[in-house]
Amino acid sequence: MSRLDTQRKQLEAALLIGVREGSVAVPTLLLKHYRALKLNEIEVMTLIQLISFWEKEKNDFPTIEEIQSRMSASPDQVIASLQKLLHEQFITIDEDTEASTGIRLERYNLSQLYQKLAHHVIEQEMAALTAARPPIHADAAAKDIFTTFEKEFARPLTPMELETISGWLDKDMYREELILTALKEAVFAGKVYFRYIDRILLEWSRNRVATVEQAKEYSQRFRQSR
């Protein structure tokens, strides 16, 4: 057998051992989102080692030496990573007493890690849904406007009047607060009818009045000039 064949056999044997060892169920979410959770690679590898000890060896409280022996990190780095994971409640230490011997037992609990991952993903999904949500239609946004107009007019609005308000919002793109300010101006002038309000809004638009403050200043100047 040639040297190359021998090396090939050795590699195959090594791979076979690896397959027999099996694998560890590392959460994909941990690999995808650990940076967002402000974890570094050493801290993540510490978590993976804890998962491995539990799943493959049923060792739920490995020592610092056992964890560090499988990592390139120094003992101090492993200790620091465990301290951070405990302090920020990615993991906890549960205590229990063995009934038959009375010996006090400790074990690492990773439930908080999974809860933090789930919470982070839910927050991301909710943020994405909020960002993707289409703008509220003017009819929905105008519900309070319609109510305000009906109170000022002391009667229900006609279909044509409702259409006029919707046109101010959808077509003319007047801001809701500006329309309500124009309504107040009409009430102040004693001319509570739609044509007068429409003239106010048109006059403001021609003079580039875009905010309530600008509208009040413009109306004040107009009154003073009369």
Write down the pLDDT at residue 105: 92
Q: Which residue has the tokens 């101010």?
A: 168
Write phi, then psi, for 180 (nearest 5 degrees): -65, -35
Mean pLDDT by groups of 10 residues along the chain of 226 residues: 72 61 83 95 97 93 96 96 96 90 92 90 76 49 77 88 90 91 90 92 90 86 69
Distance (Å, whole) CA 9 – CA 44: 34
CA-based nearest residue to 212, from 170, 176, 162, 188: 176
Q: What is the DSSP string of 39-67?
A: --HHHHHHHHHHHHHHHHH--SS--HHHH
Write down the pLDDT at residue 98: 83
Angle at CA 17, nearest 5°, toward 13 and 20? 135
Write down the pLDDT at residue 16: 62
Write down the pLDDT at residue 157: 86
138-225 fold: Arc Repressor Mutant, subunit A (1.10.10)
Domain-wise residue ranges, the chain: 23-132, 138-225
Antiparallel, parallel or unpaired: β 104-109 and 92-97: antiparallel
Write down the pLDDT at residue 1: 62
Write down the pLDDT at residue 14: 60
Write down the pLDDT at residue 12: 75
Write down the pLDDT at residue 23: 79
Can 23-132 and 138-225 be said to share one CATH topology? Answer: yes
Structure tokens at 29: 């979410």
Structure tokens at 114: 């999974």
Q: Which residues pair with 96 in a beta bridge?
A: 105
23-132 fold: Arc Repressor Mutant, subunit A (1.10.10)
Write down the pLDDT at residue 141: 46
Write down the pLDDT at residue 112: 93
Distance (Å, whole) CA 137 – CA 225: 39
Angle between helices 143-153 and 159-170 (to 10 degrees): 130
Separation of first and last alpha carbons in the chain: 112
Structure tokens at 127: 């943020």
